[in-house]
Amino acid sequence: MFSFNELKIASSNQLWLNISSTDKKKAWEQAQSHSNTLARYNAYLNHLSLYIFFNWLTEWLAEESVAKPSIFPSEDSLPSIWEVVNAAAITLGEKRIVLIPSETIDLEELCVPQEWVDIPSFAGDYYLAVQVNLEANEDECFLGVLGFTTHRLLKNFGRYNANERTYVLAAKNLTENLSVMLMTLGLPVQEEIPELFTVSEAEAHKLLQLLGNSSIYFPRLRVDVPFEQWAALLDNDEWRTQLYHRRIGGLAIAKNTASVNNLSNWFQNIFETGWQSLNTILNTESENLAFAFRQRELTVGGVSVEGVKLIDLGIQLGNHSVALLVGLTQEDEQKVGIRVQLHPSHGQTYLPPNIKLALLSSSGATLQEFQSRTQDNLIQLKRFTCPKGKTFKIQVAIDNFNITEDFVV
């Protein structure tokens, strides 16, 4: 087998990038939030391919007069996609680049999942064959971009494999030099794509019940679910997110973590275990008037529903408790405004010093973080909005203690 340096010399038209031990560790940690071994490994390969290539592409285009690349559709959406289908995508202006990772050493053909070809919102303009080599010595792990094709070429000259629901193109028909791709960014390279089949809410619910079973390793290949129905389910952000959380539900229990809190249910006064309406808490004798006053401050801002969870910080902190408040405002049919606060509870006036309240993305990246000082009677995150189907995490941490709550809008 060629070494990393030998490959760079022998294949001068192809791109070869090193994979560091740090890259592998981070990708593997992020890949654990999936329902089974195959899904975790798929997420692992896609994470490595996406972020290593994305960083290289950003540097490569730094001096070019083209739009900056961005991850498609968003970092938060990646787990729900990688749970069920291979490939990662990058948006470059009005074009989309789809990376197809594989560990095959002598790649003879590029196999593109049908979702990335026939779903209009997913379809790429360019498809890159990415070889991931993780079995070399620690300092010789690498990924190679062996070449690319376009959507039009794939549809017109690729072979459709109905059993695997993929489009297949021989590797000899790939263009190796990525500079050619850059030169054709202004050209129409995508074939016309028909509109998707329409699925009703009731049909979607039946599909979610069926395919949300994590024992089904390949829901995309179910012969009793036509691709048209599967594509409509995957295309809908809310349904795809629900599918993902149904499939990892057993994993959350196994890890003894909290279930996902569905904020849409809060507007019907339905709360997950451990959460309840703030009004319910305020009617108990254990909470003081100052706490009620702060609740009124929230409602003045137009919050239509509030949920609260009491968090015991543990014996090492004298069994001190705090109250995590989440207030929701229905902005419109598609977006919800969210405000998060942390308060002392059980008659305490101040929060413990140095307690942290953080907003995390679904992948665990910190988006906001605030820390209490001496004699702070509350800390809060900056108000933010989320579209339907969006997932995020709220974390409360102090010393060696931390608790993380998962939410979906």
State which of 253, 281, 314 marks the end of a domain. Answer: 253
- End-to-end, the C-alpha distance of the chain in Å comes to 49
> Any idea what the Cα angle at residue 385 is, between residues 380 and 387, rounded to 5°?
145
Query: Strand ranges (DSSP E) for 38-85?
Result: 69-72
- Residue 261 pairs in a beta bridge with 407
Whether residues 23 and 152 fall in one domain? yes
Closest CA to 68 of 99, 91, 97, 96: 91
**pLDDT for residue 281:** 58
Are 75 and 167 members of one domain? yes
Which position has the token pair 């902190």?
317
8 A C-beta contact, residue 211 and residue 245: no
Are 27 and 155 in a shared domain? Answer: yes
In this predicted structure, the answer to whether residue 9 has a pLDDT above a threshold of 50 is no
169 vs 160: CA distance, rounded Å: 9
Q: Is residue 190 part of a domain?
A: no
Q: What percent of the chain has pLDDT over 90?
A: 53
The pLDDT value recorded for residue 289 is 35
User: Is residue 261 a contact partner of residue 408, using CB atoms and an 8 Å limit?
Assistant: yes
Question: Helix or strand or coil: residue 401?
Answer: strand
Q: Could you give the percent of the chain with pLDDT greater than 70?
A: 86
Q: What is the mean pLDDT of residues 59-82?
A: 89
pLDDT of residue 21: 87
Three-class secondary structure of residue 87 per DSSP: coil
Question: Residue 352 carries which DSSP code?
Answer: P
Pair 334, 387: CB distance under 8 Å: yes
Q: Nearest-CA neighbor of 286 among 323, 314, 313, 326?
A: 323
Residues 48 and 170 in one domain: yes
Tokens of 187: 């050209």
Q: Encoding tokens for residue 108? A: 């003879």
Q: Which residue has the tokens 């070494």?
A: 3
With respect to residue 359, please indicate whether it lies within any of the assigned structural domains.
Answer: yes
Closest C-alpha to 359, from 319, 405, 408: 405
CB 316 within 8 A of CB 346: no
Of the listed ranges 107-111, 112-116, 261-265, 289-293, the least confidently predicted one is: 289-293
The Cα diameter of the chain in Å comes to: 76
Same domain, 307 and 213: no
- Say which amino acid occupies 267: F
* Range with lowest mean pLDDT among 45-54, 94-103, 336-345: 336-345
Q: Are 372 and 379 in contact, with CB atoms under 8 Å apart?
A: yes
Tell me what pLDDT residue 318 has: 55
Task: List, for residues 199-250, the tens digit of each pLDDT value.
Answer: 999 999 999 999 998 889 899 999 999 999 999 999 999 999 999 988 887 4
Tell whether pTM > 0.85: no
Return the pLDDT at 50: 97
* Helices and strands in the chain, H and E counts: 14, 20
Within a domain: 284: yes
Distance CA 121, CA 178 (A): 24
Looking at the structure, tell me whether residues 18 and 149 fall in a common domain: yes
Tell me what pLDDT residue 29 has.
87
Q: Are residues 351 and 238 in the same domain?
A: no
Domain contains 89? yes
Amino acid at 281: I
Residue 75 lies in a domain: yes
Provide mean pLDDT across the span 188-207.
Answer: 94
27 in the same domain as 168 = yes
Structural domain contains residue 195: no
Residue 255 has pLDDT above 60, yes or no: no
pLDDT band at 292 (very low <50, low <70, confident <90, very high): very low
Average pLDDT over residues 376-391: 90
What gap in Å lies between CA 329 and CA 331, rounded to an integer?
Answer: 6
Q: Are both 402 and 298 inside the same structural domain?
A: yes
User: What local confidence, expressed as pLDDT, does residue 364 receive?
Assistant: 79
Please identify, among 138, 157, 183, the residue that sits at the C-terminal boundary of a domain: 183
Domain end (from 218, 234, 253): 253
Residue 133 lies in a domain: yes
Residues 281, 241 share a domain: no
Mean of all residue pLDDT scores within the chain: 85
- Quick check: is 94 in a domain? yes
126-136, pLDDT tens digit by residue?
999 999 998 75
Regarding whether 101 and 8 lie in a shared domain, the answer is: yes
**157 and 266 inside one domain:** no
Q: Into how many domains does the chain fold?
A: 3
Q: Which domain holds residue 215?
A: 201-253
Higher pLDDT: 91 or 311? It is: 91
Highest mean pLDDT: which of 27-31, 158-162, 343-347? 158-162
What average pLDDT does this structure show over 56-72?
87
pLDDT at 142 over 70: yes
pLDDT bracket for residue 41 (50, 70, 90)? very high
What CA–CA distances, in Å, run from 279 to 282, 325, 342, 402? 5, 12, 16, 26
